[in-house]
Each structure stands twice: as C-alpha cells, then as structure tokens.
Amino acid sequence: MKKDKSPKDPFQLREAEKYDRPIPSREFLLDYLNESLGPLTHKEICIALNINDHQQIEAMRRRLRAMERDGQLARNRRDGYGTLDKLNLVKGRVIGHPEGYGFVRPESHTGEDIHLSSSQMRRVFDGDVILVRIAGWDRKGRPDGSIVDIVERNTTQLVGRYFHESGVNFVRADNPRISQDILIPNHLVGKASPGQIVVVELIEPPSRNSLPVGSVCEVLGDHLDPGMEVKVSIRNYGIPHKWNDQILAETALIPEKVSESDDRLDLRKVPLITIDGEDARDFDDAVFCKENGDGGWTLIVAIADVSHYVGVGSQLDTEAYLRGNSVYFPNHVVPMLPEKLSNGLCSLNPLEDRFCLVCEIHISAEGEIQKYQFAEGIMHSHARMTYTQVAQLIAHQDDSSSCEVRKQFASIAPHVDDLCNLYKVLHKQRVKRGAIDFDSQETRILFDKQRKISQIIPVDRTDAHRLIEECMLCANLCSALFLERAEIPALYRVHEGPSEDRLSSVREFLAELGIGLGGGEDPDPEHYQRVLRSVKDRDDAAIIQSIMLRSMSQAVYQPENLGHFGLAFDAYTHFTSPIRRYSDLLVHRAIRSLIRGKKITPNTYRIDTAKPIAKKLIYPYEIDYLDATGEHLSVTERRADDATRDVVNWLKCEYLMDQVGSKYHGVVSAVTGFGLFVMLDDLYVEGLIHVTGLPKDYYYHEASQHRMVGERTGRIFRLGQKLIVKISKVNLEERKIDFELVDKDSNQGKSEGDTKKSHKLKVTVKAKELAEEYEKNKRGHGKSSKKRRAKSSKGKVASAKKKRRKL
C-alpha cells in the first residue's frame, strides 16, 4: 500500500467537524501556496494534495474562488493561484481624483499610494477595492499600477445631474472623484427631466471599453432647489436617513410618557437645568452644582437614559449602530434615533419627567475629583437655559438684559453661580495638568426663507460654553476611570500624540518663526499649550494654532485605553451624548451592567427594589466586537464630518455666485504645491489662488516652512500672510472657489480656472452608438452583437483619445 506523502493540514479536525467531506483549510492553503515554487492551478493543487473525490474537487474549486474573492489569493492569466506577496500584487482601495486619474491606497497601510492612470481608472469607481500590479514608475517617480482584479465594487447607487444630448441619456456624477458618465437607456429614464438631480441605480459597472449603465431610481429635483445640497450629500456619503417599517413599528410600542419608577434614584426635586444654544434640537445633558461646607463642590451630571428604550439587538439598536451618530447639517439633522426618542422621551425637555443615568462627582476646592458615583435616576428639568442667558447671568452686570435674566431664573441663579465658580477652579486644574486649549473660531450660517445663506457670522465662545464643557469632561473622565477599574471591556476615546513626521514638520515651522517646542522627541500636551499661550497675542496666532492642530493625530474609538493626549487624561471616554453617538450608548450599557450586576460594584448606587439584570441582556460585548465597532464608529464620525463640510462648501459657493469680481481682504490659510488657499476675513470662506495666478515667476513649494518662493524674484507667499483677492470663479459642481491676487505692482498670470476644460468624457457620436448598441443587446440581437459592441467600444475609446489630444 502506497504511503500518503501529501502535507498534513493542522486544522483537519476542525474542517472535519464542519463538513462531511472536508478539504484543506484556508490557513493551510495560504501556507502551502506561499511555499510553492510558483502559482498552481486548481487541478495541480488537487493532485498535489491527493484530492480525488469529485465532491471534494468541486469544494476545493469553490474554496479557491472564495479566497480569491476575499483577497486572500490572486489568480493569474493561466488560472494559477498564488498569494499576493508571491505574485507581487497589492490590494487596496481606489481614491479617484477630479482630473480623471487616481490612486490605490494599500490595505496594509504600508508603502506609498500607487498611481492609476486615467485609462486604468475607466474600469473602476472611487471606493472600489482592487488588486494591482506595479507596472513601473510614472514621470513623478510614483509607483504606477495596473489593475489585475476588482475585488469589491462599492458603488451601487450614485447621485448626479441628468442630461439628454445628441439622443443620448446620461448622468454626470456629483462626486468629482467619479469621472465616468453613466449611460441611461431610454426605458430607464423614469420621470427625470434634463438638468434635474437624480439618484441612479447601477446596472452595469464601468469597464475598459464601455461606460457604466444605470437606471434612474429617484428624482431629487432641480439643481438649485432649497435643501438640494443636503439631499445630495446624504446620498453621496451613504448616510442612512429613512426609517423602515420594522423600526417604526418598534418605536410605536414605546410608551408616550415616562412611567413612575421605584427602581430609580428620584432626582426630580434637584434643580437640574439644561444649557444649550438657542437653536439646539435636543437636550441630552443636565447639570446641577452646589458648594460644600469644605470649600469643594458636588456636581451632578444627568444624561438621558437611551439604553432603557433601545434594547440590545433590537431594530432600533441595529439602525443606531449602522448610523453611528447623528449628522448635523447647518439647516437639517439626520438623527441617530427616531424623533420620538431624540426629541421626545430621551430629550431632557423642561418641566417633564425623564429617565437618566446620573454621575455625582465630589470635587475639591483645588478642582480635583475626590470621588464619584453612578446611578439610574429619574429627573425633572427645572429650566432650559441658553448659553447667552447663562453668560448674562454670571456676568453680574447691571444692564437691563442681565437683570431680566437673573429675575427670570431667580430660583436657580445661585446654583448657576456655583457652576461658574466650579468652572474657574476646573479651568485652573486643566491648565495645571497641561491640557491643550485649541480655541478656534467657529461660525454660524444664517438662512433666509428660501433656505439659502443670508449671512455667515462668527460664534464667540463664552464662559457659559466652557462651563458646560468642563462639566461634561468631568463626567466622561469619571466614566472612563470607572470602567477601567471595573476591568470590563469598554470603548474608550483615544487620542495619541503626534507622529514623528508631523512633530518634525511642526518644529521646523515654529523654528522659522523663532518659536521653540519643548519636550524633545516626546513632548507632553503641556509643551504644546505653552506655545499656544506664548503666541496668543500675535497676529498670526490663529495660523500657528491651525498648524499645531494639524500635527495632532485623529481621535478614535477603541477598546485599548491609551489615554487622551489633547486633554492630558490617562483615560477618557464618551458618556454624555447617547442620543446622538452610539459610542456613548455602549458606555451607558456598560455602566448600567455594573449598576445592575449580581454583585454591588464600588462607585455605584442601586435602589433596593431594583433587580439585577443579566449581563448578556444589557452588555454582551467582548473585545473583538468592541474593536470592530470602534473602527466602524470612527468611520461614521468622519463620514458625518465630510458630509457636513461638503454641504457648507456647497452653500458658500451658492452664496458667492453673484459676487464674482468682488474684492476682499483675506489671509493665507494653507500653502500647497499648486497654490495658496485664502480665507476671506469677513465671510469666513476659503478659496484658491492657483500658482499660475501668482505674479509671473517659477515658484517652488517649501512644505516644511509652509511657503511658496519665487525663483527669479525671490518673492515669498507664506502661511498667515494678508492679501487682497478678487473672486474670479465659483464652481458649484466641484465646490470650489477661485481667487485672483489683487497686486498692482506685478503682472498677473492667467488663472487656470478660466481656461481649463472639463476632464469628463464628452458625449460624442460614438457614445450615441454605444447607447444604441446597448439597447439592441438588451432586445436580444444575437451573439454577434457582443463582438460588434466590443469593436464599437474600442473605436469610441480611440475617438475619445484623439479628441482629448486636440483639446
């Protein structure tokens, strides 16, 4: 009998438990192919591993295909399978560029981005996951990629403007990173009219020789309709914004009013108040403070108990996880929870009973936290105050408005004064520990009746804003310390210090200004704060602060606590906004699981009648889940930021469309290799002076010094420099504003924005033929039509290339 000499799979027993006819595991196949001398076909693998059974052979074929689909293996032109490293392939996500070319960002996050030419980009959309082979190096010395396989297509729908030209229907994507037009067959146009904004469902993806094909599934309206910017952004960024029938049914079962509860700490007689902006849409936190006899304070922070209404694994919970957070556009909100909760039962509206999770904190006269306790409570907000009212109240001035506010809130004014006094010692403690205080200028957009911008105004941060901020920081800190000491898996808000590269860059910039950043290779937050304090009276203080802020890492959610660099906390989490952040909801569940645990946990208070709740019902999470959830929530947070920024840019472009030719004072807010970004002083709007619009010279970009230097004249344009500019062009489609430098002493270079042709593929006669060919194929004109279409497509590509050369 022949002895089986095929290699053994260490995971054979596991596979045998799962399948009647087991085949080698994925782990084994990866190791085996990694050690092989070259790629192996499906047949060669089966022979080498002594797989003879027909069902096992077919199972092996499916497993190899699945591993290829998941990006674990790649298949070459001869159907040979190999690992990515062996085949010199890179897996990554496509990043499109408005000029038509793109890049691949490696999934491993190692190595530089790989350049994709415009011809390669014709096959894919921004966001697709692909396998590329390094085919060479482009003229800028970047690795140049050739697409081997498209692992995952991430665009199923897109938003754009519908056109009908030369008998062809097509949609031009609103997303500037998508350069292909989408063909729309005649019978799939629906009720769309030319010029309208529509949502397209993709039917066929783009390829090397053909444009993508789609179907109009929704008509959003005319291009300049009020609110169109929000509709487009929601769909461009894939923000969930509709409630399905199951969620609505589940929400309908929630009682309209808060029930009486003997299982909660009764705080209804405590004069808790909410303090928010005039235009606040929900109220998720309330505060109360009183001075103790020893000179310290008792601070109570009560947060709406969302976890009481949103059960683990419910439809509401699943949707809240998917959304990750509420999205606050300037004139519209996409809430994380239905309005019945976000504006109703989970909003701490004045003079209404509400369930809450409460943190009672005892703080010393020096501003140090001495002890804290968490409890489930029921509260009754005694007042809804605005930041303006609190600022007037704590100013103790004799003007009529301040006196009126003090009279209106006479019963709670003493407690607001206590809050103010507590804030002052907490702020001293903040300075003492070296927390960084980035006090950047915020703006508010005012709208007219047509929901268009009427004015952009600065928002001044007062002690009223800072007072609430310090109270929330205390509650978040106590939550993090509590969860860490309880030694249960939890989600922390982590902010690491600056990377080595960013630290080096910011040091070079500061050195040019004669400013030193202490701390050597490992500066503390205090070193940053010392610099900010030293420059606060300089004209360029805002720019210095901006550069220092850019040097920082982005805060993320993760179960591994690495502290918060900016706040100078060893532990930090988000506890105070479960209405609008899923991360806070998870923290609430973690804390409630300890309050309602079988054993009494230190730093908790539970009413005697409150029964324990099994952990699996309230907080069934382990590290792996929290790790994945942290990544997801960090992504949804950035998605919300990008979407709101896009809407603001749209609105600002609309606002300035009739200001072309107007002159404004501004300051250089960023310097790049292609030009200067300038922030207008009065409008808080940013635009670009392209390098070709600078006085005639050859300019080179000194990135570390944030400046552009003229080679012949030596003229310098630097970050923070004041300029006078003229608005030369507003491009609403790309959300871009172009400026010209107003400089009487120098000749102006011609602005590229005035002459630049659209990079998007024009609708030509060949495109029309392609559309007609598509219609014929769908009507079943035989096998030969595929050959004709391929030939037509190749001709169209050649025609388009020739036309681009002429342009």
In a domain, 278, yes or no: yes
Whether the pLDDT of residue 799 is over 60: the answer is: no
Residues 359, 505, single domain; the answer is no
Last residue of a domain, one of 599, 621, 645: 645
Contact 196, 232 (CB under 8 A): no
Residue 777: domain span: 157-223+764-806
CATH of the domain at 138: 2.40.50.140
Q: Could you tell me which residues come within 8 angstroms of residue 686 by beta carbon, excluding any fewer than 6 positions away?
A: 669, 677, 678, 679, 680, 737
Residue 806 confidence (pLDDT): 33
Whether the pLDDT of residue 6 is over 70: the answer is: no
Domain count, the chain: 6
Whether the pLDDT of residue 490 is over 90: the answer is: yes
The vertex-318 CA angle with 315 and 322, nearest 5°, equals 140
Residue 746 confidence (pLDDT): 39
In whole angstroms, give the CA distance from residue 118 to residue 184: 23
Residues in the chain: 807
Q: Dump pLDDT digits (tens) for 369-383.
A: 999 999 999 999 999
What does the radius of gyration of the chain's CA atoms come to, in whole angstroms?
Answer: 31
In a domain, 2, yes or no: no
Residues 131, 41, single domain; the answer is no
Residue 752 confidence (pLDDT): 34
Alpha helices, DSSP H, located in 70-138: 118-121
Whether the pLDDT of residue 43 is over 80: the answer is: yes
- For residue 760 the two structure tokens come to 């998007």
Residues 326, 266, single domain; the answer is yes
What number is the average pLDDT over the span 484-503? 92
Backbone angles phi, psi at 111, to 5 degrees: 80, 165
pTM tops 0.85: no
In a domain, 213, yes or no: yes
Q: Dump pLDDT digits (tens) for 220-245.
A: 999 889 999 999 999 999 999 999 99
Q: Dump pLDDT digits (tens) for 506-548.
A: 888 888 888 999 888 889 999 999 999 888 888 788 888 888 8
Whether the pLDDT of residue 784 is over 70: the answer is: no
Whether the pLDDT of residue 10 is over 70: the answer is: yes
What number is the average pLDDT over the span 536-562? 88
Whether the pLDDT of residue 362 is over 90: the answer is: yes
Residues 768, 742, single domain; the answer is no
Residues 76, 161, single domain; the answer is no
The 3-class secondary structure across 298-361, one letter per residue, is EEEEEEECHHHCCCCCCHHHHHHHHHCECEEECCEEECCCCHHHHHHHCCCCCCCEEEEEEEEE
Residues 142, 31, single domain; the answer is no
Residue 566 confidence (pLDDT): 93
What number is the average pLDDT over the span 325-333? 94
Residue 750 confidence class, pLDDT cut points 50, 70, 90: very low
In whole angstroms, give the CA distance from residue 242 to residue 233: 15
Q: Which of 91-105, 131-145, 517-531, 760-774 has the lowest mean pLDDT?
A: 760-774
**In terms of Cα–Cα distance, which of 29, 70, 184, 11 is closest to 770?**
184
Last residue of a domain, one of 152, 184, 207: 152
Q: Dump pLDDT digits (tens) for 608-660.
A: 889 999 999 999 999 999 999 999 999 999 999 999 999 999 999 999 998 99
Residue 767 confidence (pLDDT): 47
Residue 142 confidence (pLDDT): 79
Residues 722, 793, single domain; the answer is no
Residue 774 confidence (pLDDT): 52
Q: Dump pLDDT digits (tens) for 276-296.
A: 998 887 899 999 999 998 889
Residue 775 confidence (pLDDT): 54
In a domain, 486, yes or no: no
Residues 97, 191, single domain; the answer is no
CATH of the domain at 38: 1.10.10.10
In whole angstroms, give the CA distance from residue 733 to residue 171: 13
Q: Which of 2-11, 468-477, 627-636 has the lowest mean pLDDT?
A: 2-11
Q: Could you tell me which residues come within 8 angstroms of residue 273 by beta carbon, excluding any fewer than 6 positions away?
A: 286, 287, 288, 381, 382, 383, 384, 385, 412, 415, 416
Residue 259 confidence (pLDDT): 84
Residues 369, 511, single domain; the answer is no
- pLDDT > 90: percent of the chain: 59
Contact 723, 678 (CB under 8 A): yes
Which of the given ranges, 534-543, 734-743, 798-807, has the highest pLDDT on average? Answer: 734-743
- For residue 188 the two structure tokens come to 């799939």
Residues 745, 785, single domain; the answer is no
In a domain, 772, yes or no: yes
Residue 637 confidence (pLDDT): 97
In a domain, 789, yes or no: yes
Residue 744 confidence (pLDDT): 46
Residues 633, 769, single domain; the answer is no
In a domain, 545, yes or no: yes
Higher pLDDT, 744 or 85: 85
Last residue of a domain, one of 152, 171, 200: 152
Residues 383, 464, single domain; the answer is yes
In a domain, 269, yes or no: yes
Mean pLDDT of the chain: 87
In whole angstroms, give the CA distance from residue 650 to residue 644: 10
